[in-house]
Amino acid sequence: MPVPFVDLSSQLQALDQPLRAAIDRVLDSCAFAGGPEVEAFEIAFAEFCETRFCIGVGSGTGALELLLRAADIGPGDEVILPVNTFVADAEAVLFTGATPVFVDIDEDTALIDPDAVAAAVTGQTAAILPVHLYGQTVAMSSLQSLAAAKGLMLIEDACQAHGARRENRRAGSLGDAAAFSFYPSKNLGALGDAGCVTTNDRALAERLRMLRDHGSRERYVHELLGRTDRMDGIQAAVLGVKLTHLDDWNSRRRDLAAHYLRELSAVDGVRCLKEQDGGEHVFHLFVVRLAERDRVRQALYDIGVETGVHYPLPLHIQPCCAHLGYSEGEFPVAEKLASEILSLPMFPELLPGQVDEVVDGLRSLV
Ligand SMILES: *Cc1c(COP(=O)(O)O)cnc(C)c1O
């Protein structure tokens, strides 16, 4: 039986009726861009994240960029972020006119290395942007102290960590503000693009509400230079239905991860990334390390097992970042991991028997 990397269809089938009812409600109301469904979802997601405010926008990338702009980050400012992440983090910083300052990652978790962050702070640093990659929150305490001591914004990229916890607090409530993506394959996914910002800061929330809607509070009076970046009503209605299942889906992801960890501990040549104490990983991705990654990946594909690589090129060697002047060899941990990491099939509806198939495939190939 082939094992897909992600399968969205079984979840959609299970929720077919409530999703269609939610979409019908929006069709009846004609509130397509913003509106009551968006407001209701914002309240529900803020409550879920244990924050005071949630501002729905058009994508995770939009959330990151508008958040940086709402925090007044721009030309002359530096923002510290990990090299091993999705390109959106670099794009968001660059589009504000600020300078991304890349730092290396921790070898055990592949998350931003807090010591490297401390070493990268300069007089120009305005913000730190840790990424809760693969579903695991960054251990924030040293970053929180550093940000407080130096007066820096601490902004979470929580696009892969809906529902994850650190010291019992949810991702999205661990810094000054956080960006989430609801891209369809995320732990909480829309039926298209959507995103949001969570924060406890009322003034920041207010600015974000303006920036997503052409900088206006009052119609046709544009106080700030904004743009079109609203969440749409259909996505909000869909997300409201799915949010009630998120904790359950995350706990299934955790069970599947425990199953992988148990079985893979007996497979020589495959190392799993570490789940740090003091948190609750929600396994957006289940990532292992192996030598000859590309050969094994192709051989798995040939026996029907789909995998991914997140991410094959660290940001400092992405063509779109060439003008920043970094060179290969500057971030040895991230560069080594980029050639070894493999993301195995992971989604809540994955069957334990399919996990066994993936593990058997790996055992015979490494
Ligand atoms: C998905 C993702 C984003 C961007 O979200 P979009 O909704 O696709 O714009 C940003 N950062 C990380 C870590 C992501 O995984």
pLDDT of residue 242 exceeding 90: yes
Instruction: Judge if the beta carbon of residue 195 lies within 6 A of ligand 1.
Output: yes
Instruction: Judge if the beta carbon of residue 160 lies within 6 A of ligand 1.
Output: yes
Q: How far is the CA of 88 from the centre of ligand 1 (A)?
A: 6
User: Which amino acid does the sequence have at 32?
Assistant: F
Mean of pLDDT values over 281-292: 98
User: Which amino acid does the sequence have at 278?
Assistant: G
Task: Check if the beta carbon of residue 282 is closer than 8 Å to that of residue 161.
Answer: yes
Euclidean distance between CA atoms 283 and 287, whole angstroms: 9
Instruction: Judge if the beta carbon of residue 61 lies within 6 A of ligand 1.
Output: yes
- pLDDT by residue (tens digit) across 267-282? 999 999 999 999 999 9
Task: Check if the beta carbon of residue 197 is closer than 8 Å to that of residue 177.
Answer: yes
Q: How far is the CA of 63 from the centre of ligand 1 (A)?
A: 9
Q: Best of 111, 181, 182 to mutate for ligand 1, by most ligand atoms within 8 A of CB? A: 181
- pLDDT by residue (tens digit) across 44-72? 999 999 999 999 999 999 999 999 999 99
Please report the DSSP string for 63-127 in residue order: HHHHHHHHTT--TT-EEEEESSS-THHHHHHHHHT-EEEEE-B-TTT-SB-HHHHHHH--TTEEE
131: confidence class by pLDDT, cuts 50, 70, 90: very high
The H or E element that residue 9 is part of is helix 9-14
Burial of 201 (0-12, 13-18, 19+ CB in 10 A): middle
pLDDT of residue 212 exceeding 90: yes
34: left (phi over 0), alpha (psi -120 to 50) or beta: left
pTM for the whole structure: 0.98
1: confidence class by pLDDT, cuts 50, 70, 90: confident
The domains of the chain, with CATH numbers, are 8-243 (3.40.640.10), 246-365 (3.90.1150.10)
